[in-house]
Amino acid sequence: MTYDFDLFVIGGGSGGIAASRRAASYGAKVAVAEAHQLGGTCVNRGCVPKKLMVYASRFPKAIEESAGYGWKNELGEFNWKTMITAVQNEVDRLNAIYQRMIDSAEVKLYRQYAKLLDAHTVEVGDEKVTAERILIAVGGHPVKPKIPGIEHTMSSDGMFELAKQPKRIVILGGGYIGCEFAGIMNGLGTEVTMVIRKDQILHGFDEDLRDELHEALQKAGIKIFNSSEIVGIEEDESGVLVKIADKDSEEDKDKMHTIVADAVCLSATGREPSLDGLGLENTAVEINQGAIAIDKHCQTADPSIYAIGDCTDRINLTPVAINEGRVFADTLYGGKDRLMSYDYVPSAVFTTPEAASVGITEKDAIEEYGEENIHVFRSRFRSMYYTLPNKDQKTLMKLVVHTESDKVLGAHMVGDHAAEIIQGIAIALKMGATKADFDATVGIHPSSAEEFVTMR
């Protein structure tokens, strides 16, 4: 059978673009459907604009600390509109780069939503096109819980659209998105309150990392209501009234709190795959807990349909989606039999201070190997940078080691430049480094990073 395209990609995010370009480079005839801006969540409403805001939020801290080094500086006036405009200009620049990449790869771009009609047919706009294979890369979107007054809130996407800086903000959720936005707004001078359902932030991360960052956020002035939830939201002339209750005591009025804010961001209450209207019911594609189920080749239950990125049940990170897309294209169009590896995928939380991890947590290591077979190395110290400003800001570094093999199973860090440091550590762990390998490595002195090779 003759098809219009060899590959039709639904979704023009980082993963979809990576897959389409790589497949086209092998000579495949490729099309992409994307109704919104190219680049997906990361470029437009996620990691890129958020990281730029993180940079903006750190200048007041740096100016304050510079006094310890002899500088006499005064904190100037921050202009929210200037920052947001500059961030959006950078997003627009990146959109244009993505467009040029699509054009240079000779990939046809449809600026409409796409709907599956069957395993080989896609309806895009008022046109029906066919493809030998279809790749779903539609990503995900934030979800809002059912709370009275939910209409007075915004999702994390709305943080990039605020016309002016709120003086007081309540952030619901203690995941990495909530923690990052809490740090950003706190650094920019907004009064921040976090409401988290669990007793600690960053569920799923290493316990020591969670403890260290939780304490650091509180010391920075962020108020955290843990084991709590928002039970109602109202608006009046004073602002947005947020009613908070202890999770197990909603009816106990003595354990209820009302916070007055200018904005409420439900930034960490979860995300889900954007599958509505996709037409999956017209195919054999199966859903597992709200996400598209795929095998090790990213293939769905329908042999001609594949899926990658945040719409699947794998690791929801942009670099993972990009690698999945390239592995998919290399295997099916490049003649290279590749599999995506999900081992030792590093991750970071761009708070202030940063947190980053690679490998498994101490808890998971104990569950898998037994406590008697795990040796944990920890180091907690004040880095040299904070000695002259006399700041009590600590750095935490941790290695989780399998005793019998001496293999390093996990590395975790809270401190300045944690993401940059853990990226290098990730290479070592991916290669199977042992604690003896770390010990035999000469450190760079003086640096915080050298602690990873001097812990005994």
The amino acid occupying position 387 is T
Q: Kindly state the tokens that stand for 159.
A: 């943080």
Considering the domain architecture, whether residues 427 and 284 belong to the same structural domain is answered as no
Q: The tokens 């010990």 sit on which residue?
A: 439
Residue 339 covered by a domain: no
CA angle 314, 320, 325 (to 5 degrees): 100
Classify residue 294: in a domain, yes or no. yes
Q: Are residues 154 and 66 part of one domain?
A: no
What are the distances in angstroms from CA 129 to CA 19, 31, 119? 19, 10, 12
Q: 167 and 121, same structural domain?
A: no
Same domain, 99 and 39: yes
Per-residue pLDDT of the chain (456 residues; tens, 9 = 90+): 899 999 999 999 999 999 999 999 999 999 999 999 999 999 999 999 999 999 999 999 999 999 999 999 888 999 999 999 999 999 999 999 999 999 999 999 999 999 999 999 999 999 999 999 999 999 999 888 889 999 999 988 899 999 999 999 999 999 999 999 999 999 999 999 999 999 999 999 999 999 999 999 999 999 999 999 999 999 999 999 999 998 765 555 557 889 999 988 875 567 899 999 999 999 999 999 999 999 999 999 999 999 999 999 899 999 999 999 999 999 999 999 999 999 999 999 999 999 999 999 999 999 999 999 999 999 999 999 999 999 999 999 999 999 999 999 999 999 999 999 999 999 999 999 999 999 999 999 999 999 999 999
CA distance 401 to 421: 18
Say if residue 117 is in the same domain as residue 164.
no
Q: Judge if 265 and 279 occupy the same domain.
A: no
CATH of the domain at 403: 3.30.390.30
Q: Would residue 340 count as lying in a domain?
A: no
Q: What is the CATH number of the domain that holds 12?
A: 3.50.50.60
The reply to whether 383 and 319 lie within a common domain is: no
Same domain, residue pair 213 and 237: yes
Residue that terminates a domain, selected from 333, 359, 379 = 333
Q: How many domains, the chain?
A: 3
Catalytic annotation present for 445? yes
Rounded Cα gap, residues 66 and 86, in angstroms: 26
Do residues 156 and 263 lie in contact, with contact meaning Cβ atoms separated by under 8 Å? no
298 inside domain: yes
* Statement to judge: residues 249 and 300 lie in one domain: no
Domain that holds residue 257: 150-269
CB 122 within 8 A of CB 114: yes
